[in-house]
Amino acid sequence: MKHTIKELEDIASQIRRDIVRMVHGCQSGHPGASLGCADFFTALYFEVLNHKTDFTMEGVGEDLFFLSNGHISPVWYSTLAHAGYFDKSELATFRKLDSRLQGHPTTHEHLPGIRIASGSLGQGLSVAIGAALAKKLNGDQSHIFALLGDGELQEGQNWEAAMFAPFNKVDHLIASVDYNGQQIDGPTSKVLALDDLQAKFEAFGWHVINTDGNDMQAIVEGLHYAKTLTGKGKPILNLMSTQMGAGVDYMVGSHKWHGTAPNDEQLASALAQLPETLGDY
């Protein structure tokens, strides 16, 4: 391990502070699942991913990450800043005019760390598969990681990709699902239930693992374990249970915080729960 679990938890706490401050600062954006995925992003970028912070689009010899549910950009931007891709002061520009930190991630403004635009849901798994195929053709043994929302899985393109990857033995791919059970109009179980996702992906030929996405130890171990499963003919799906709003008590578990910004009072309450560990931007 490069860091202790405590160190990683501290990083995640800072990222959570950044998320609520960024969303508060522009009074828009998506705090709920950003908070829920803070532990995953910390584990990925500070422990699991083999990556360089002097960013190149190609990332030859590096592991690549693709965010399909682009609306959780705050957690990604904060993670990239603390990992060293760009200065954390730039987080203050989130969603503001002339910023590289667009509402949804984009290559258009050339923010280091981003390799494809996302925001319109359901497209990221296909892109990750494409990147994995290209690496394979180049003889590059690196891993491709992707994150998808659970509601996002209602988009049919995911299932085209889900069918393609095992059939074509795309086996350096580790896709995680942010399984928080919530989407905009309510709990996923009420909008359009996903039911037994594990059985569905297994039926398509994926190797499915389950992790607790809000337990740092579990998520680090889970992602390391996922890496050991690659190269064996099957893509890996990490069904990662998380809580929307994790870390901020009044946001936990509610779809109402999918895309709502906290007011001043709510911000203060959130920050009181999240220790500043690396210094605010």
Ligand X SMILES: Cc1ncc(C[n+]2csc(CCOP(=O)(O)OP(=O)(O)O)c2C)c(N)n1
Which residues contact ligand X by CB under 6 A? Answer: 30, 32-33, 69, 71, 119-122, 149-152, 178, 180, 182-184, 244, 258
Give me the 45-84 binding string for other proteins, x by CB under 8 A, dash otherwise: -------------------------x--------------
What are the backbone angles phi and psi of residue 137, rounded to the nearest 5°?
A: -60, -30
Nearest residue to 207 (alpha-carbon basis) of 237, 186, 242, 181: 237
Q: On the CB side of 40, how many CA atoms lie within 13 Å of its CA?
A: 33
Nearest-approach distance from CB 106 to ligand X, in angstroms: 14
Burial of 160 (0-12, 13-18, 19+ CB in 10 A): middle
Residue nearest to ligand X (CB): 149
> Which tokens hold the place of 208?
């499915």
- Binds 162: which of ligand X, other proteins, none (CB < 5-8 Å by kind): none
User: Nearest 10 degrees: CA dihedral of 78, 81, 83, 86?
Assistant: 160
**Closest to other proteins by CB, 8 or 80:** 80
Cα 199–Cα 253–Cα 126 angle in degrees, nearest 5: 45
Instruction: Give the footprint of other proteins on residues 206-265 (CB under 8 A).
Output: none
- The nearer residue to ligand X, 74 or 122, going by C-beta atoms, is 122
Query: E-assigned strands of 40-133?
Result: 64-67
Of 9, 39, 63, 155, which one interacts with other proteins (CB under 8 A)?
155
Q: What is the closest distance, in whole angstroms, from the C-beta atom of residue 101 to other proteins in the complex?
A: 8
Q: 33 touches which of other proteins, ligand X, none (CB within 5 to 8 A by kind)?
A: ligand X
Sheet strands side by side (includes 64-67): 64-67, 144-149, 173-179, 236-241, 207-212
User: Which entry of ligand X, other proteins, none binds 106, CB below 5 to 8 A by partner kind?
Assistant: other proteins
Say which entry of ligand X, other proteins, none residue 180 contacts (CB below 5 to 8 A, set by partner kind): ligand X
For the record, the structure tokens of 148 come out as: 């998808």
Which lies closer to ligand X via its Cβ, residue 153 or residue 173?
153
Per the listing, tokens 């030859």 go with 60
Partner that binds at residue 264, options ligand X, other proteins, none, CB closer than 5 to 8 Å by kind:
none
Decide if residue 108 touches other proteins (CB under 8 A): yes
Please provide the distance, in angstroms rounded to a whole number, between the alpha carbons at the two ends of the chain: 27
Query: From other proteins, ligand X, none, which one binds at residue 182 (CB under 5 to 8 Å depending on kind)?
Result: ligand X
Among 84, 119, 130, 187, binds other proteins (CB under 8 A): 119
